[in-house]
Amino acid sequence: MKFPLAVPVIALALFACFTSVSNAQDIERNAKPSATLEADFTLPATDEGLPGDGPIRRYEWFQKLWSTKRAKWAGEVKDKQGALVFLGDSITQGWGDGMRGSFGDTLVANRGISGDTTRGMLIRLQKDVLDLNPSGVVMLMGTNDLEEGADPQTIADNLALIIDKIHAHNSKTPIVLSLVFPSSESKKRPAEKIQEINRLYQMKVKGDAGVHVVDTWTLFANEKKDAKVEEFPDLLHPNEAGYKKWRSALRPVLEVIGLVSPETEPAASTQAINEAGFESLFNGKDLTGWGFRPTTADERKSRERWQSRDPNAPAWPVIEEAKSFDGKPASDDHRYIAVNNRLVVTNPPEGRRIQQLWTTRDFNSDYVLKLEFRATPNADSGIFVRGKQLQCRDFVLAGPYKELKNYKPQEWNQVEIIVTGNTARYQCNGEVLEEAFSVPPRGPIGLEGDRGQIEYRNIRIQPLGLSKN
């Protein structure tokens, strides 16, 4: 059946008309006066039908800020696709639109609104965060809920809803959760309530490998468990020193999960592996030369006794047979990974998990072991010498050497261990931690994981004598 020429002409005209209307709608939407756009983001007048529970702030200043900021962000959705999004309240907002260049050339989107609560963030999550299809989400939230009288359980439940929505949008989107910062009773934010929120937060995300917890409470709390005035002049908002510490706490985690490019390595560290007389124990690319060793009978008994005394003791995997990770970028459970020329002990989803990675060789002669490490706040690891552990931690917060003068929190630190006979001399950045630590006559070198994230690099050894076979 043939159609008259007029039919396709009419069809083209209708299509052009439809396209013009659609384009006109887009132009109209983009050309809306700010007052009209702000009306699109007006905070609902009541709580009816809104997700979550707990307080939603409706002070006049807050409603104005809520609508103006969100209207502005609506015009940035296209340009901020794939950004690393920071979701929070005034503490996040105060970091600035570009996070003051803290994360190099990474595309960032600051979605903090001063005064916001966890429920408010849940309400605006879709348009402000998920519509950006973020590469990752960094969250700090909950302090304003306390001022409004919310109980910690309600706050934690809202956090769980936010995390569920992010996972539902894209299950592969990594989430970095900063624990609620300390404040003060004078700010209606007592220490015990903040600690309870953080405890519940960690329970909510336990076992979730997509959530990376950073202990920013221990990082900032003073001996009374409140904020320090030298970092929080008003006992609530950080100053420049506070933001610098937050950035240093976040950056190692963001680098390891690939959201931020690693900073330039210092020349001294890149040259270290070529140090005369030293052999590298880590090639920077994979776990060749490292693996799991079977759990001994004595270790099993020790663990059983420990866990019988403390039902909340950290998980402690039992290894049934030796396993080498030669050529592999990670252990089977991804607790140990090779990335960015670093051997990383990752933060376990359980919160704490005691586990060891061993060299596949034993080192029975006297030797000098050198390496560098960087720890997230309050992280706990260890270096095994001939099978016996020397503590390697975020020393200032986790101890046991809290009075070190040269230790650099959340920065790279130099370790040297000299093993002679049955003793080891252990120092960090030139300070002696152990002068004569007793060690067995033979055994492997190992790296332990407990809590937090620890990175090791430039792991190298220099034999000093004959092997003790």
CA distance 55 to 129: 21
- Which residues touch 306 (CB under 8 Å, ≥6 apart)? 313
Q: What is the pLDDT of residue 273?
A: 53
- Which residues touch 405 (CB under 8 Å, ≥6 apart)? 431
Nearest to 372 by CA among 434, 447, 285: 447
- Asked whether residue 24 carries a pLDDT value surpassing 70, the answer given is no
Task: Report the side by side order of strands in the sheet with 136-139.
Answer: 108-112, 84-88, 136-139, 175-178, 211-214
- Which residues touch 426 (CB under 8 Å, ≥6 apart)? 390, 415, 416, 417, 432, 433, 434, 437
- Asked whether the domain spanning 267-463 has the same topology as the one spanning 32-256, the reply is no
CA distance 234 to 358: 48
- Asked whether residue 440 carries a pLDDT value surpassing 70, the answer given is yes
**Kindly report the CA angle at 114 between 129 and 258, in degrees rounded to 5?**
40
Instruction: Kindly list the domain boundaries of the chain, sorted by start residue.
Output: 32-256, 267-463
Give me the percent of the chain exceeding a pLDDT of 90: 82
- Asked whether residue 174 carries a pLDDT value surpassing 50, the answer given is yes
Q: Which two tokens stand for residue 162?
A: 């936010």
Q: What is the mean pLDDT of the chain?
A: 90
Q: What is the pLDDT of residue 28?
A: 44
Nearest to 216 by CA among 193, 235, 194, 185: 194
Domain 32-256 has CATH 3.40.50.1110: yes
H or E element that contains 383: strand 380-385
Q: What is the pLDDT of residue 22?
A: 39
Please report which confidence band the pLDDT of residue 266 belongs to, taking 50, 70 and 90 as the band edges.
low
Domain 267-463 has CATH 3.30.70.260: no
- Using a cut of 0.85, tell me whether the model's pTM lies above it: yes
CA distance 314 to 450: 8
Please report which confidence band the pLDDT of residue 306 belongs to, taking 50, 70 and 90 as the band edges.
confident
Helices (H), 76-151: 90-93, 118-128, 143-147
Give 427's strand partners. Answer: 416, 432
Asked whether the beta carbons of 308 and 347 are under 8 A apart, the reply is no
- Asked whether residue 1 carries a pLDDT value surpassing 50, the answer given is no
H or E element that contains 390: strand 388-393
- Asked whether residue 336 carries a pLDDT value surpassing 80, the answer given is yes
Tell me the mean pLDDT in the region 65-72: 96
Least confident interval from 165-169, 242-246, 302-306, 388-392:
302-306
The model's pLDDT over 390-399, given as tens digits with 9 standing for 90+, comes to: 999 999 999 9
